């Protein structure tokens, strides 16, 4: 007989992380019950711990970059065989509002996000809507499958930036998102791709995934680019962007800052040089595209996973994100739940 409770990692509104017992979830008719198999830790989780992510509903079970093994499909989800590997789109949307109908479900008026406003993957079992789950070939493995969510965010960002072919691109920040965007920009035919990051320990990883020019931010003085992706989520990076744009340049903001962060922008600059400032929030409707693209990105995705921790060492996993050379930290799970 199945246990009536499961263990889960929980973050309260003060940023305290605890391992708690919760009721064992049961899948609704249109859901599947999964045993999480791998889950990325990212800047969003750090912002949640610092109470810098207003959307979070506390106490929250974190974990939104996830893959898992199907334990039990709901009555209307029989197409998911027990034991199959799935990747999960964390954005649970209504599908009916004007943003959903416009292909921007990340802006859904009823948006619920796994690991932010509803239970996330840092638990022994998790029920997710069947429409959010995508079967992934077993040979991909849980680790790569869990990288599909950040890849989908990179797909959204590059699509919002427009045609990258022949363009001179700068990606600020050699974290997971920055490097996925850089690799994807090369794949999409960008003429030149640079990456900047103040942590020199990350430069070797950027070179390892095929980026030809990797520099410190101080080396950017005098350089200009057609598109700058601010993927660092750091104030010094955001303050630097305007000076790095060619006329008609595009500032793509994908890094997450605290809500109160302010960066000065001169309206005359935007007017005179016909600049564009574009936000890219989450993955929109790009998850299925990322599933299809991942086989071509697999080697890069694997190279970006630099740290692995048991889910029950969540605190240590988050702390590891600040270590030199750390790019993607993932949580590991026992599949014997």
- Kindly state the helix (H) or strand (E) to which residue 41 belongs, with its residue range: strand 31-41
- Total domains in the fold of the chain: 2
* pLDDT, tens digit (0-9, with 9 covering 90-100), for 197-230: 999 999 999 999 999 999 999 999 999 999 999 9
- 88-120 burial, b at 16+ Cβ within 10 Å, e below that, comes to bbbbbbeeebebbeeebbbbbeebbbbbbebbb
Q: Is 153 helix (H, G, I), strand (E, B) or coil?
A: helix
If asked whether residues 123 and 73 sit together in one domain, one would say yes
| pLDDT over 50 at 294, yes or no | yes
Predicted confidence at residue 52, as pLDDT, reads 82
Look over the chain and give the mean of its residue pLDDT values, rounded to a whole number: 95
Q: How far is CA 13 from CA 52, 65, 111, 209, in A?
A: 10, 21, 20, 38
What is the domain-level CATH number for residue 203?
A: 3.40.50.720
What is the domain-level CATH number for residue 130?
A: 3.90.180.10
Q: Please indicate whether residue 10 or residue 334 has the higher confidence score (pLDDT).
A: 10
If asked whether residues 265 and 298 sit together in one domain, one would say no
> Where residue 325 falls among pLDDT bands split at 50, 70, 90?
confident
Average pLDDT over residues 270-293: 97
Average pLDDT over residues 308-315: 96
If asked whether residues 90 and 136 sit together in one domain, one would say yes
Predicted confidence at residue 322, as pLDDT, reads 82
| pLDDT over 50 at 258, yes or no | yes
If asked whether residues 237 and 292 sit together in one domain, one would say no
In a domain, 157, yes or no: no
Predicted confidence at residue 186, as pLDDT, reads 97
Predicted confidence at residue 41, as pLDDT, reads 96
If asked whether residues 249 and 303 sit together in one domain, one would say no
54-58, 202-206, 241-245 — which is least confidently predicted?
Answer: 54-58
Omega within 30 of 0 (cis) for the link into 82: no
If asked whether residues 144 and 17 sit together in one domain, one would say yes
- pTM for this structure? 0.95
> Where residue 95 falls among pLDDT bands split at 50, 70, 90?
very high
If asked whether residues 194 and 88 sit together in one domain, one would say no
| pLDDT over 70 at 336, yes or no | no
The residue range of the domain holding 319 is 5-152+283-332
| pLDDT over 60 at 175, yes or no | yes
Predicted confidence at residue 337, as pLDDT, reads 41
- First and final C-alpha spacing in the chain: 12
If asked whether residues 179 and 320 sit together in one domain, one would say no
Predicted confidence at residue 259, as pLDDT, reads 85
Catalytic residue flag (residue 44): yes
Contact between 303 and 145 under an 8 Å Cβ cutoff? The reply is no
If asked whether residues 33 and 128 sit together in one domain, one would say yes
* pLDDT, tens digit (0-9, with 9 covering 90-100), for 121-168: 999 999 999 999 999 999 999 999 999 999 999 999 999 999 999 999
Active-site residue identified among 5, 16, 44, 224:
44
If asked whether residues 95 and 145 sit together in one domain, one would say yes
The count of other CB atoms within 10 Å of the CB of residue 47 is 20
Active-site residue identified among 5, 47, 224, 329:
47
In a domain, 337, yes or no: no
In a domain, 244, yes or no: yes
If asked whether residues 194 and 122 sit together in one domain, one would say no
Percent of the chain with pLDDT over 70: 99
If asked whether residues 34 and 135 sit together in one domain, one would say yes
Predicted confidence at residue 305, as pLDDT, reads 96
Catalytic residue flag (residue 47): yes
């Amino acid at each position: 007989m199945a246990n009536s409770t499961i263990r889960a990692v929980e973050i309260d509104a003060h940023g305290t992380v605890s391992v708690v017992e919760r009721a064992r979830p049961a899948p609704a008719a249109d859901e599947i019950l999964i045993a999480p198999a791998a889950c990325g830790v990212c800047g969003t989780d750090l912002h949640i711990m610092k109470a810098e992510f207003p959307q979070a509903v506390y106490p929250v079970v974190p974990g939104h970059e996830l893959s898992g093994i199907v334990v039990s499909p709901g009555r209307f989800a029989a197409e998911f065989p027990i034991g199959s590997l799935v990747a999960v789109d964390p954005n649970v949307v209504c599908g009916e509002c004007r943003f959903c109908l416009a292909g921007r479900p990340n802006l859904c008026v009823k948006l619920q996000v796994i690991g932010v406003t509803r239970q996330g993957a840092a638990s022994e079992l998790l029920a997710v809507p069947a429409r959010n789950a995508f079967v992934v070939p077993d040979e991909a493995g849980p680790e790569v499958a869990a990288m599909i969510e950040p890849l989908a965010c990179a797909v959204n960002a590059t699509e919002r930036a427009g045609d990258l072919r022949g363009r001179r691109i700068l990606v600020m920040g050699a974290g997971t998102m920055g490097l996925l965007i850089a690799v994807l920009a090369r794949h999409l035919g960008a003429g030149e791709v640079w990456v900047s990051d103040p942590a020199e320990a990350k430069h070797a990883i950027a070179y390892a995934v095929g980026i030809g020019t990797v520099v410190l931010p101080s080396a950017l003085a005098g350089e200009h680019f057609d598109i700058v992706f601010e993927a660092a989520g750091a104030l010094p990076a955001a303050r630097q962007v305007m000076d790095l744009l060619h006329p008609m340049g595009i500032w793509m903001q994908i890094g997450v800052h605290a809500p109160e962060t302010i960066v000065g922008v001169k309206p005359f600059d935007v007017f005179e040089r016909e600049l564009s400032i574009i936000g890219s929030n989450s993955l929109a409707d790009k998850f299925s595209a990322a599933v299809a693209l991942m086989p071509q990105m697999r080697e890069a995705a694997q190279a970006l996973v630099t740290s692995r921790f048991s889910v029950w060492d969540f605190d240590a996993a988050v702390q590891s994100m600040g270590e030199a050379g750390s790019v993607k930290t993932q949580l590991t799970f026992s599949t014997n739940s």
